[in-house]
Each structure stands twice: as C-alpha cells, then as structure tokens.
Amino acid sequence: MGFFGILMQVTRWVGVIILLELAAAEISFPIALPNCPYTCGDVEIPYPFGLREDCYIDPNFYINCTSNSFGKTQPILPKNITVTSISLEGQAEILMYIAKDCYEQGVLDPSIWNMVWLNSPLNFSVSNTQNKFVVVGCDTYAFLKGSRQNESYTTGCISACGSTRDMVNGFCSGVGCCEVDIPLGLKQIIVQSKSFDNHTEVTNFNPCGYAFISKQDTFNFSIASLLNLRDETMMPMVLDWVIGTETCEDVANKSSYACGGNSSCINSNKSGYLCKCMDGYRGNPYLPDGCQDIDECENDDSCKGPGEKCFNIPGNFTCPCIEGYHLDRSAGVDLCVINQSSLQVKLFVGVGISFIVVLVCSSWLYLIVKQRKLIKLKQRFFEQNGGLILQQKLSKQENSTAIAKIFTKEEMQKATNNYDENLIIGQGGFGTVYKGILPDNGIVAIKKSKTIDENQIEQFINEVVVLSQINHRNVVKLLGCCLETQVPLLVYEFIPNGTLFEYIHHESQASTISWETRLRIAAEIAEALSYLHFAASPPIIHRDVKSSNILLDSTYVAKVSDFGTSRLVPLDQTQLATMVQGTLGYLDPEYMQTSQLTEKSDVYSFGVVLVELLTGKKALSFDRPEEERSLAMYFISFLKDNRLFEILEKHIVKEGKAEHLKEVAHLAKRCLRLKGEDRPTMKEVATELEGLRKVEMHSWANVDSNSEETKFLLGETSNSYKYNAINKSTNVYNSVRDHVIFDLDDGR
C-alpha cells in the first residue's frame, strides 16, 4: 500500500469516529405545548392530544392519564378507550376487547361477553389499512357492525372445522380461522360471536368461538389459539384520526387551522385533514414552531461528488466546491474538479490534518480513559470509606432537620489550596486539620486522617451520624464530609481560638483567665453534655470528654467536639458493653473495670475537666511525682485534708468567693466518685453551675444574709444535695475488658 493509500485509510477512520460522535448527539424536538405534560406512563402524548385543559386541540383529543386495577398507569381516550401509542401520521394504537361465546356442556358461560363494542370519539375511525376482522373457532360465525358515511354497515365471517387435522398454522383461510378486510371510515363498531351448535361437536378441542379486530401482523393463528385465546382479554388495534371535518382548502384561512409553521396540510380520504412537516423539516407539525430545520449535511449521501462541501440552508442544502476545486460544467453536469496546482499543497495539508486529528483523537481517548479511572477510583474510595454505610444510616434519620453535605474531592482540594501546609491549624496522632475556604467564602475546618483502617472507618461513620443530628450552640457543627479521597475528610465550622487545653495550660495566658470566664465555660460544657444525654434522641454518650476536645470560638464560647468514639444509646437501655476507649487521666475507673458504658462515664470525665479549670493543672502529667500524676486523685486527696485553697489557681482564690469555690470543688468531687450511681447526672451538674453563674453575675446577692435567695439560684448545696440514684446491675464482659484503647492526650 502506497503513501496515498495509507492517507486515505487514516482519513476514513477519522471520518468514522466523527460520524459516530454525530450519531450519538440525538436531536430532540418538542412534541407538546409549552408547560404541558407529554407522557402518561411509558406512552408519549403529542399535541393535538393533551393530558389537561389547554393542552389539547379539542375535547375529542383529551387523554385521561389514570391507573388500572393492576396499578399500571395508562392513557384513556374519551369513551374509555385504552391507548398504547400515538403517531403524528394520524394513527393511534389502542386495546379492543375480544368477543367470545364459550360453552360448558352446551350451556353458554354467562361470565363471558359474546358481544363487545367501541364507541370511538368524533374524528376517529377504525384503520382499514392496519387492521383485520378475525374469527377463530370450529363452530363459529361472527358479525362486525358499524357505521360509515352516516350509513349502517355489516359484514361477517364463518370459521368451521370438524377436527384440527385440516388446520395450517399461520393461515387464516376459513378452517379454524377466517379474516375479513375493514372498510374505509368505519366507526361505532359492534363485534358479536355466535355458534352454530353450541360447540357440542368440538368442545374437546374448541370450547369457545372468538371474534375481534386485530392490528395486522400481531395475531398469528395456530391450532393452540383455539384454547389459548380463552385466557386473552384484549387485542391491539389501530384507529385513524384526523383534525376536524373540513378540507384543507376550507380551513386554510380560518383561526382554527391546526398546521404550524414549515408544515403542509393533507386532506384525509375520509373527512378532515392532517398536517405534515415540509421536506427538510422534522418535528410536530401541529405546534406553532414544531417543524424545525434538519441538517441534511449530517447525512453522508447529501453531497457525493469529490471536492463538494455540504452547506445546510433552511429546508434544504447545497453542495459548493471546496477550496482547491473549481466548478466544471463541460460534461453537461456540475462537477467539482481539483486544481492541479494545489494538489501537492492539498496532499501536504491532508497529511498534516490527518496527523493532528489522530493526535487529538488519541489525546481525547486517553483523557476519557483517565477520567473513567479517576471516577472508578473515587467510587472505590467512597465505598472503602464507608459511604454506603453512611448513606444507609443517614437515610434512617427521618426526623433530621439537616443532613450533612457530601463534598467532592475537587471542592476539598480547592478549599485547602491543594492541602497547603500553611493552612494547617492542628496536627497530631489522628491526622491533620486544615483551614479551608468554601466558594461562598465560608471558613471551615477540614479534618484529614493520616491513615485509615476498618476500626477508623467505623469511628468516622459514627462521628458523622452522631453530629448530623446535633443542633446545639455548645456543640461544634458538622457541615459535611468527603468520601472520595483515600482517607475520609470531615468539614466542621471553623473555631478560631483553639482548645480549652491550650487556653488553660498556655503559660503566657493561664493566669489571666478570670474565675467568671472559667465558671461560664464549665457551665457551657455541662449544658452541652446534658443536651447529649437527655435532649438528643437517641441519647449520646461522648466517651472522650477532655479539655483538648473542647473548642473556643471567637468570643470564647465553649463547643464540645470530636465524636469519633461516641455511642448512641438505644432508648430501652441505660448501659452498653463496649471495648474501653478514652484518654488516660479522664477515663472513668468503673468503666475501665466493667466495660459497661453509661452516661455517668461522661460525668466523671467532666469532673476532671472541672478540676483542670479550678487548678490550672493537666489531667495527667508524668512530670509530677508519682502520687500527683493523676489530677483527679491528687485533687480529692487535698479536699480530704481540707487543703482546697492550696491546689486551686492562685488568682481565682482571690477573685472568687470562698463559698462558691467550695461549691464547685465539691461538685467536682461528686462527679469523680468511683461508683457511677453515686455521681450526679449532667442535667443536675448543669443546673447547679448555672445557679452559681447567676449568683456571680448578681453582685448584690449576699450569700450569708440572703440564704433563701441564694438557695433558689444555686439549687441544693453540696451538703443537702439529694439524688435519685439508679441502681443498675453491672455485668462484666471479660472478652471486652481485655481490649482497651487509651489516649494519653497532650498531658505528657
């Protein structure tokens, strides 16, 4: 094969690719009036038909979209005619009942109709080109009655046989089956089936006779039809329809003229007329602008001659010569002949263009394959990161007012400037937190784990499920998540002032935090945990309450965060057997021993945070002597020795009233009791702290002289505090106790 042959092969394949692209782009044309529905079930309803008022040309073309007894949606013409398809060429396929006369031992079956009828609307008639009148049986004669041209019309057919021996499958010639042509313009039809001798002679192989109108080529007679047709109810048939009763000439200048632009009127051979798009146009000719120009140049046969270029014009096309060719009429016909002087240039340009086209197509295919791989990878990550489980859990939250948004991988990359290190605002063993900016300029915090395994996936899904149902000013708000990356991402509201741990233990500012601020933060944390325990449905146990999981917003309002280890408590349970998880220094001793998780485990952890606020010391520090490493034990020992004010932060001893400090200290002591049933609930803790805050805010309150007033604000004091302790039977699960997950937090 020479060079020119190779060039032709390349050009041919390029042309095939382009044609495939063009074929894939289907042209859509309107079929109904604007703002009108155009489907009923799986049937398209084109204008002049319509499904509601102002959507059809006249009431004869109204389609009632309803459901049958089997629950299937179906279009119904006036006179209760079921439609299965509508053609703009003036035909509608419908379903017509079969007339049957069935006998049992010579007695007519009264449950079966031997007479059926069709009262078609005006403008509709039985199609004489698409239907046949068919009679099936060995002892059967039937009538087809109707009207045409305002006169009665009757025809019939007889089908007889003594046995099945003379029947031929596929032939309807009078033996077991006969058929009759339909006359033009037949309306208001009645079909009746009768028997000569009640099928007494042929009842063993033909207990019934059948008569019906059937669309041609849909019913194929066979010997089995003698029995099988008893189970059939309806047959497809075709109706012809026209617009009005006038001719095109009579209606052309009237406002009722139905044909739209770029269409022509066709007189019916009965009465009325039809509309058809002119050559070069396609669409619905009954709509004002329904017939639209088609591009004939998309057809390979439009311009066949060499050097010709197809040029589309409204309703037609032309074939001018392309550059490098000239029109030659010497042979008596118009031909485009190549200019010899430009042949070499043309060849060179053709090779160059072919190379470019091949290169572009190759790049295009490469990009498509690459894009598909990226889509599959994102889908794999989505499933690997628990996306299906998350969707299932979120779908069960029927009463949820807001569902977390699912962000895309591209949105996360753009928000973090492709995870720019300068945007990192937090980093630790769990992973990295980035500051991100969304397209609406909203600032968010994006949590990205370092690695992921099955346990982390479960925690991640759990955190999303828990946070998606929480709406509280002191709980960090989850905005959404991203599952299309290798490790899942969580998107939170941005909290600018860091953690309570940093706020308390930062050397430069710890001594400047007032007692009033500390008390407010404690009350806000308690209120959030009380909400989780008593207002959330189902209740939520945080399971990892600690100062580094308390964030502070721009006005230093406390917000509880990090719900990765939280648990939802079923409404019929008060405790859960779980694998022990939490942070050393904050972990409930009873929970560690029994693996039985209750809301009182959060109470103990909150007690440790409260002691941190009182003392300014870390919950667990290996820099302190061994007996002082655990702040909770260290604090309680000072209380027993009546040395409370020695362990408290020095400046809050000066700021706060001694009675109030003692109240908070004893409240912390009650939260740190070894037995969970002896601890107060978070609701009781929140109430008492809020009472203390009210006293602090009202400087006029004199605790000594106005004891009744103080009692009202504080609730019961520590000396008179009473609980309704809930006695719970604690079951120890050894299989769980041996698997404990601890976090040392930032205290070491």
Domain ends where: 457, 472, 493?
493
If asked whether residues 429 and 556 sit together in one domain, one would say no
Residues 520, 608, single domain; the answer is yes
Residue 70 domain-assigned (yes or no): no
Spatial neighbors of 621 by CB under 8 A, at least 6 apart, are 628, 629, 631, 747, 748
pLDDT at 431: 75
pLDDT for position 447: 87
Tell me: do 529 and 655 sit in the same domain: yes
Quote the number of domains for the chain.
3
CA distance 278 to 291: 8
Q: What is the dihedral of CA 488, 492, 497, 498, to 10 degrees?
A: -30
Q: Phi-psi region for residue 140, left (φ > 0), alpha (ψ -120 to 50) or beta?
A: beta
Distance CA 517, CA 614 (A): 11
What single-letter amino acid sits at 197?
D
Task: Assign 177 a pLDDT band (cuts: 50, 70, 90).
Answer: very high
Q: What is the CATH number of the domain that holds 447?
A: 3.30.200.20
* Separation of alpha carbons 296 and 34, rounded Å: 27
Whether 480 and 596 share a structural domain:
no
Residue 694 and residue 670 in one domain = yes
Residue 8 pLDDT grade (very low, low, confident, very high; cuts 50, 70, 90): very low
Note the pLDDT of residue 627.
Answer: 77
| pLDDT at residue 748 tops 60 | no
Res 346 pLDDT > 50:
yes
pTM, to two decimals: 0.47
Task: Pick the more confident residue, 607 or 575.
Answer: 607
Distance from C-alpha of 589 to C-alpha of 606, rounded to nearest angstrom: 13
Would residue 177 count as lying in a domain? yes
Residue 23 lies in a domain: no
Domain match, 159 and 209 both: yes
Q: Is residue 667 part of a domain?
A: yes
What six digits make up the tokens of 366?
């490469």
More confident residue, 487 or 735: 487
pLDDT recorded at residue 663: 93
Give DSSP secondary structure letters for 309-344: --EEETTEEE-PBPTTEEEE-TTSS-EEEE-GGGHH
CB 563 within 8 A of CB 476: no
The alpha carbon of 254 is separated from its chain's Cα centroid by a whole number of angstroms, namely 50
pLDDT digits (tens, 9 = 90+) for 642-677: 999 999 988 888 888 889 999 999 999 999 999 999
The CATH number of whichever domain residue 668 belongs to comes to: 1.10.510.10
Domain-located, residue 381: no
337-346, 418-427, 575-584, 678-687: range with lowest mean pLDDT: 337-346
Q: Has residue 17 been placed in a domain?
A: no
Q: DSSP string covering 64-115, please?
A: EEEE-TTS-EEEEETTTEEEEEEETTTEEEEEEEPEEEEEETTEE-TTS-SE
Residues 101-114: tens digit of each pLDDT: 988 777 788 888 89
CB atoms within 10 A of CB 573: 11
Query: Does residue 709 sit in the same domain as residue 628?
Result: yes
Which residues, 6 or more positions from 376, have their beta carbon under 8 angstroms from its beta carbon? none
Q: Is the pLDDT of residue 702 over 70?
A: no
Using a pLDDT cut of 90, give the percent of the chain over it. Answer: 45
* Residues 124-129, mean pLDDT to the nearest whole number: 94
Nearest by Cα to 688 from 700, 696, 699:
696
Is the predicted pLDDT of residue 545 greater than 80, yes or no?
yes
Give pLDDT tens digits for 381-402. Answer: 888 777 787 777 767 665 555 5
10 has a pLDDT exceeding 60: no
What residues are annotated to the active site?
544
3-state secondary structure of 638: helix
User: Residues annotated as binding site for ATP?
Assistant: 448
For residue 77, being part of any structural domain is answered with: no
pLDDT at 701 over 80: no
- pLDDT tens digits, residue range 439-451? 888 899 998 877 6
pLDDT at 7: 39
Domain boundary among 219, 241, 263: 241
546 and 695 together in one domain:
yes
* Same-domain pairing of 111 and 213: yes
Which residues are annotated as part of the binding site?
Answer: 448
Judged against a pLDDT cut of 50, whether residue 714 lies above it is answered with no
List pLDDT tens digits, range 298-315: 877 778 778 888 889 988
Final residue of a structural domain among 221, 241, 261: 241
pLDDT of residue 384: 79
Average pLDDT, the chain: 83
**Predicted pLDDT at 734:** 29
Per-residue confidence (pLDDT) for residue 20, from 0 to 100: 41
Q: Which band of pLDDT confidence, cut at 50, 70 and 90, is reported for residue 150?
A: confident
* 239-290 confidence digits (pLDDT tens): 999 999 999 999 999 999 999 999 999 999 878 999 999 999 999 999 999 9
Report DSSP state, residue 532: I
Which pLDDT score, from 0 to 100, does residue 6 have?
A: 45
Same domain, 621 and 699: yes
Q: In terms of domains, do 175 and 224 share one?
A: yes
pLDDT digits (tens, 9 = 90+) for 75-91: 999 989 999 999 999 99
- The pLDDT tens digits of the residues spanning 349-387 come to 888 898 999 999 998 998 888 888 888 888 888 887 777
Can you tell me the distance from the alpha carbon of 415 to that of 446, in angstroms, rounded to the nearest whole number? 9
For residue 539, the enclosing domain spans: 500-743
Q: Is the pLDDT of residue 721 over 50?
A: no
Asked whether residue 519 falls in the same domain as residue 434, the answer is: no
Question: Is the pLDDT confidence value at 580 over 80?
Answer: no
* Torsions phi, psi for 677 (to 5 deg): -70, -20
**424, part of any domain:** yes
